[in-house]
Amino acid sequence: MKFLDEFKAFLMRGNVIDLAIGMVVGTAFSNMVKSLVDNIIMPPIGLLIGGVDFSNLFITLRQGPNAPGPYETLGAAQTAGAVTLNIGLFINTLISLIIIGFAIFMLVKAINKLHKAPAPQVTTKQCPDCCTDIPIHAKRCPNCTSQLN
């Protein structure tokens, strides 16, 4: 029973719950960005550079034993058992990484702005005669005994 109590206490700590929530939100965000890249960003880019479908941009390294090449789509190449270098999928993943990285950067930047530490209060001032630091409410310098304003 003690093991289960310790495990329950571990799970109920704030850090573990925060981590779990972060993982769920991060996964959802990652899926959203992947959909954004695959369905919104890459089709116009492919259209601008001559109708290239990036998800089907690949190089056949070895033809498959099930059917000889050339293959029209990546799916056809994979069905044939061909060994392919999937350049288009890599480009999509790279763009997703850049978007996610930028979004996380902006989020951290906003959080850091909210958590900005307040400026420390001034508790000392400088004596105009001897230039030593003295308490801000002092009326006379303890070092040179000069009268302060």
| Over residues 129-133, mean pLDDT | 90
Distance CA 88, CA 77 (A): 14
Pinpoint the residues of the chain covered by CATH 1.10.1200.120.
2-52+86-116
pTM for this prediction? 0.59
**CATH code for the structural domain at 2-52+86-116:** 1.10.1200.120
Q: What is the pLDDT of residue 51?
A: 77
Q: What is the pLDDT of residue 118?
A: 78
Per-residue pLDDT tens for 71-123? 989 999 999 999 999 998 898 888 888 888 888 888 888 888 887 777 788 88
Distance CA 139, CA 145 (A): 9
Per-residue pLDDT tens for 2-19? 899 888 887 777 677 788
Q: What is the pLDDT of residue 86?
A: 94
- Confirm if 133 and 126 have CB atoms less than 8 A apart: yes
Q: What is the pLDDT of residue 47?
A: 84
Per-residue pLDDT tens for 35-85? 888 888 888 888 888 877 778 889 999 999 988 889 989 999 999 999 999
Q: What is the pLDDT of residue 63?
A: 92
Using DSSP, state whether 60 is helix, strand or coil.
Answer: strand
Residues 6+ apart with CB under 8 A from 111: none
